[in-house]
Amino acid sequence: MKGWQAERLPYNGPVTLLAIETSCDETAVAVLRGNELLASEVASQTEHEAYGGVVPEVASRNHLVHAPRLLESAVKKAGVALSAIDAFAATSGPGLASSLMIGASMAKGLALGFAKPYLAINHLEGHLLSPFFTGDFEISPNVSLVVSGGHTLLVEVRALDDYRILGRTVDDAAGEAFDKVAKMLGLGYPGGPEIERHALSGDPKRFDFPRSMLESGDHNFSFSGLKTSVRYQLAKLPAISDETRDDLCASFQRAVVEVLVKKTMRAARECRVKLVTVSGGVSCNAELGREMVEACQRAGFELRLAARELCTDNAAMIAFAASLRLEAGFASELSQEIDPNLALV
Ligand code: KG4
Ligand code: ZN
């Protein structure tokens, strides 16, 4: 595998690992010992709300301020000295270049300074493996739905590092659609939690929004047509009452959830797996969780949803992926560059 050293590292027993995540607008630092999470610090940036999206330069300037502070508080909470950390990891992509650089440079500097291994972790693999950061921590074969602000992926997971992309969005990611629709409706950023909150009191049947690519015969998604339908619907309404806004939220959310659930079930049946996993920011959504539980029960699949605190961006999932890789005998070269477009496979 490119950028990875192949020799096994001389570790027996639990290692203590520190991971830094700065791929977008969350700054996060976590410390893991074996499978025990000793600290997981996250600082979300609210400055982007005024722009309705993440401004890269604002994000990276904020990472520079937050990361050293979180590093200090994470090791303090974990009760370990930096010199006692066995390996340092950071997200190396995909994400915003100027944001990724901050976390990767810090982790590399620490690895260099303390002469410890460095692990460059794929953010998507962090999400993908996060449902396994519980129980027996064993990665069993599964079909995985990764739904975040930047990605919507269906992946067949055979084992660690043995992934096959089944499908992806051909335009907007699911989370991105939530964010854009929320902006249209004058709701805050990030849009997912806002839409979910308003959907609670809305009628999901009032607007019949399209279920794009539901019958496409492949495992890809499209959310841009749905977003446009909400825009057209809005343009037709003279003014929107609170009730109508809530109905739009509920109807939009229902359309996204239905497509995500049905296409995941179809992929799981086709791959003949026993297990379905769901991760990423959108997997915080309670309706998605509920519908996945019901669909998996009906179809006879076991389901693992990422724990709520692991759904949105965090460093614990990066630390977990790094610990699995370290255990498998891998570490990255210090010369490993960040890659804003890093693919999962
Ligand atoms: O995984 P994440 O924190 O960042 C990326 O890797 O992109 O995901 C952020 C996305 C945002 O688009 C946000 O609106 C969405 O996850 N999100 C939600 C919910 N909470 C966060 N979408 C729907 N319902 C939610 N409750
Ligand atoms: Zn993410």
Based on the fold, state whether residues 51 and 176 are members of the same structural domain: no
Based on the fold, state whether residues 15 and 121 are members of the same structural domain: yes
255: number of Cβ within 10 Å: 23
For residues 23 and 121, is the Cβ–Cβ distance under 8 A?
Answer: no
Q: Ligand 1 center to residue 85 CA distance, Å? A: 31
What is the pLDDT at residue 160? 96
Which whole number is the average pLDDT over 8-14?
Answer: 61
pLDDT of 122 above 90: yes
Based on the fold, state whether residues 190 and 326 are members of the same structural domain: no
Based on the fold, state whether residues 214 and 320 are members of the same structural domain: no
CA 202/CA 102 separation, integer angstroms: 42
In a domain, 227, yes or no: yes
CA 244/CA 248 separation, integer angstroms: 6
Based on the fold, state whether residues 161 and 282 are members of the same structural domain: yes
For residues 130 and 310, is the Cβ–Cβ distance under 8 A?
Answer: yes
pLDDT one-digit tens code per residue, 251-267: 999 999 999 999 999 99
Q: Which residues surround ligand 2, an ion (CB under 5 A)?
A: 148, 313
What is the pLDDT at residue 1? 45
Number of domains the chain is built from: 2
pLDDT of 2 above 90: no
Average pLDDT for the chain: 94
* CA 284 distance to own-chain centroid: 10
In a domain, 344, yes or no: no
What is the pLDDT at residue 51? 73
Based on the fold, state whether residues 152 and 281 are members of the same structural domain: yes
For residues 219 and 178, is the Cβ–Cβ distance under 8 A?
Answer: no
pLDDT one-digit tens code per residue, 132-169: 999 889 999 999 999 999 999 999 999 999 999 999 99
Which of 178, 179, 200 gets mutated to test ligand 1 (max ligand atoms within 8 A of its CB)? 178
Based on the fold, state whether residues 274 and 327 are members of the same structural domain: no
Q: Which of 28, 64, 23, 32 is nearest to 44 (CA)?
A: 28
Based on the fold, state whether residues 151 and 272 are members of the same structural domain: yes
Angle at 121 between CA 77 and CA 259, to 5 degrees: 100
- B/e letters for 159-178, b = 16+ CB within 10 Å, e = fewer, are ebbebeebbbbebbbbbbbb
Q: Which atom of ligand 1 is nearest to the CA of 26?
A: 3
Give me the residue label for tokens 């693919």: 343
Ligand 1 lined by 93 (C-beta under 6 Å): no
Based on the fold, state whether residues 176 and 226 are members of the same structural domain: yes
For residues 180 and 172, is the Cβ–Cβ distance under 8 A?
Answer: yes
In a domain, 342, yes or no: no
In a domain, 341, yes or no: no
Could you list the residue range(s) of the whole structural domain that residue 207 is in? 142-305
CATH number at residue 159: 3.30.420.40
In a domain, 340, yes or no: no
